[in-house]
């Protein structure tokens, strides 16, 4: 069984401030982990993915995430928020073998304060 | 055209209507998916097609009927829906079910 918990359904940060979106996973087998972003009226777009290589993963638009097995976490960060980062962000988990179903979290809506 | 295209973008239907959602992918992928996105709930996987064969059906009510005539097209046929079926329906595709999924912009469905 696998699941994802995203702490905080809404996060607000000031423009230029650090962005931190939290994701904790549960998986009985080594996981693959993903962050997707959804801009208003659009589908989901892949930001970055962890597939058991480097634990610090860099994605598009300056985002990165670190896989921490001891904490079962895969938090998303960006050093300096931009107005264009306002969107909903989804963490997802998939096993790296067997059941290949993607399991998504409930999402975190990020608001950027000018 | 590139990526995954969904039509229509918005649909309003009565509970007795029959309508269809269309998804087309231009990525050469061989797997396609339907998801339901409701407010404050995780994305729900509805159906998975691999090589035009349905490989997963997640206990979806029979009022939703998928069709995959070829590897580039996926339909979701709707009939006698309920108001609680109102949601954003997302289509995705991937090369093999183990690889990254690429999503369309979705169809916003309202059932009156």
Tell me: the pLDDT tens digits for A48-78? 999 877 899 999 999 999 999 999 999 999 9
How many CA atoms lie less than 13 Å away from B90 in the CB half-sphere?
A: 21
Arithmetic mean of pLDDT, B90-104: 90
Task: List the single residue in B40, B41, B100 with the smallest CB-CB distance to A49.
Answer: B100
* CB contact (8 A) between residue B105 and residue A44: no
| DSSP assignment letter at A104 | E
Give me the percent of chain A exceeding a pLDDT of 70.
96
SS3 of B76-99: the string is EEEECCCHHHCEEEEEEEECCCCC
The pLDDT of residue A109: 96
Query: How far is B83 from A42, CA to CA, in rounded Å?
Result: 23
Sign of the C-alpha dihedral, residues B7, A43, B12, B19?
A: positive
- In chain A, positions 63-82, which contact chain B (CB-CB < 8 Å)? none
| pLDDT tier at B34, thresholds 50, 70, 90 | very high
Query: How far is A77 from A81, CA to CA, in rounded Å?
Result: 10
């Amino acid at each position: 069984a696998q699941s994802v918990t995203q702490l905080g359904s809404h996060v607000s940060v000031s423009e230029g401030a650090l962005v931190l979106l939290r994701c904790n996973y549960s998986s009985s087998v080594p996981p693959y982990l993903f962050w997707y972003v959804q801009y208003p009226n659009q589908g989901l777009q892949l930001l970055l993915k962890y597939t058991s290589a480097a634990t610090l993963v860099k994605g598009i638009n300056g985002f990165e995430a670190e896989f921490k097995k001891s904490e079962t976490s895969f938090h998303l960060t960006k050093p300096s928020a931009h107005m264009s980062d306002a969107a909903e962000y989804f963490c997802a988990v998939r096993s790296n073998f067997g059941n290949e179903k993607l399991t998504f979290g409930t999402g975190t809506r990020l608001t950027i304060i000018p | 055209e590139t990526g995954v295209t969904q039509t229509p973008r918005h649909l309003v239907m009565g509970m007795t209507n029959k309508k269809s959602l269309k998804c087309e992918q231009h990525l050469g992928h061989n797997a396609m998916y339907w998801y339901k996105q409701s407010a404050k709930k995780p994305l729900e996987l509805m159906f998975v097609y691999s090589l035009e064969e349905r490989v997963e059906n997640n206990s979806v009510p029979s009022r939703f009927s998928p069709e995959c005539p070829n590897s580039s097209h996926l339909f979701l046929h709707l009939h006698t829906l309920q108001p609680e079926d109102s949601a954003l329906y997302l289509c995705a595709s991937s090369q093999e079910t183990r690889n990254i999924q690429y999503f369309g912009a979705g169809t916003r469905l309202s059932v009156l």
